Amino acid sequence: MNASTNPMVVIELHARAYREAKDVLVERAQALHDEMQAAQRRAMRGLRNAVAAVNEKRDELQHALEEQPHLFVKPRTAVFHGVKVGFKLGAGKIEWEDDDQVVKLIRKHLPQQFDLLVKTTEKPIKDGLKNLTAVELKKLGVTVEGTEDVPVISDTTASVDKLVKALLKGAEDEAQS
């Protein structure tokens, strides 16, 4: 290209080169995706059967344990074939229906522990602030960045964009490692 070439033609040529490179990437990513899908379909029946077998054997083991709890007094557990079996105290689960009521009762009965038992959070909501004008944001001490013109390069075809993005991210992460 010489100096008299129209700049828009130069950009168009770069866009074509980008499209050609992207098409190769999309084609290869789609081929990989198709192979992975086919492999997954081939393996799925065996995986489902294996999961069902594991669940069945786990249920049988649990039933056997529940039938013989006296075998696990001291020690409370044993290891057979790399599988730890026995009993332990459950971790428990705490629940309540009304946050406000629990906070009120903590304040009443355990005021010295209030800060340890109650989370108080106040922070601006970005989505709400986005609806304010620049003048209002300035009054609040909020600055807006990234509003200047930036170059746009976006593929208008969306055939396998998610897969391509995931593969590109993986390639970028590998390159940075």
Classify residue 82: in a domain, yes or no: no
For residue 170, pLDDT over 80 is answered with no
Both structure tokens of 169: 């991210």
Q: Is the pLDDT of residue 83 over 80?
A: yes
Question: How large is the average pLDDT for residues 102-114?
Answer: 93
Among residues 15, 39, 32, the alpha carbon closest in space to that of 160 is found at 32
> Over 90: is that where the pLDDT of 58 sits?
yes
- The average pLDDT across 83-100 equals 89
Using CA atoms, how far residue 171 sits from 121, 124, 176, in Å, is 39, 36, 9
**Residues in a beta bridge with 77:** 86
| Residue at 101 is within a domain | yes
**How many domains in the chain?**
1
Averaged pLDDT, 72-81: 92
Query: In this structure, which amino acid lies at residue 98?
Result: D
The token pair at 37 is 């899908």
The residue range of the domain holding 112 is 95-144
Closest CA to 75 of 89, 64, 86: 86
Q: Considering the domain boundaries, does residue 132 fall inside one?
A: yes
pLDDT score at 104 = 94
Give a yes or no: residue 138 inside a domain. yes
Residue 65 lies in a domain: no
Q: Does the pLDDT at position 73 exceed 70?
A: yes
Q: Mapping DSSP to helix (H, G, I), strand (E, B) and coil, where does residue 152 land?
A: coil
Q: How far apart are CA 2 and CA 177, in angstroms?
A: 40
Q: What is the pLDDT of residue 93?
A: 84
What is the dihedral angle through the alpha carbons of 15, 21, 26, 27, rounded to the nearest 10 degrees? 130
**Looking at the predicted structure, is the pLDDT value of residue 121 above 70?**
yes
Q: pLDDT tier at 164 (50, 70, 90 boundaries)?
A: low
Residue 160 lies in a domain: no
62 in a structural domain: no
Q: Is the pLDDT of residue 63 over 90?
A: yes
Q: Distance between CA 104 and CA 3 in Å, rounded?
A: 77
CA–CA gap between residue 136 and residue 129 (Å, rounded)? 9
List, in sequence order, every beta strand (DSSP E) within the chain.
Answer: 77-80, 83-86
In a domain, 103, yes or no: yes
pTM of the model: 0.50
